[in-house]
Amino acid sequence: MKVLGIVGSMRKGRNTEILVRRVISEMTSIDPLVTSDLIHVSDLDIHPAGSCVLMPTAPRICSSAPSQMTYRWY
């Protein structure tokens, strides 16, 4: 199983990160085959969608985005 920890706080190393790391650690202690990644949202360059979503061509443009740019949640 792969676990993705997402830290949304701007304050690195503080309570949110400590708790996320603790959850990942506990999961790893239960099942040593668990692998994990940790993402700090504050490290990402995230922008809202542009005005293209208002255009008639938006579904065609958005659906052609490379699969590397999308996340799949199972």
Q: What is the share, in percent, of the chain residues with pLDDT greater than 70?
A: 62
Strands (DSSP E) along 1-74, which ranges? 2-7, 35-40
Nearest to 38 by CA among 67, 68, 18: 18
Instruction: Quote the pTM value.
Output: 0.60
pLDDT tens by residue, 5-38: 999 999 999 999 999 999 999 999 999 999 999 9
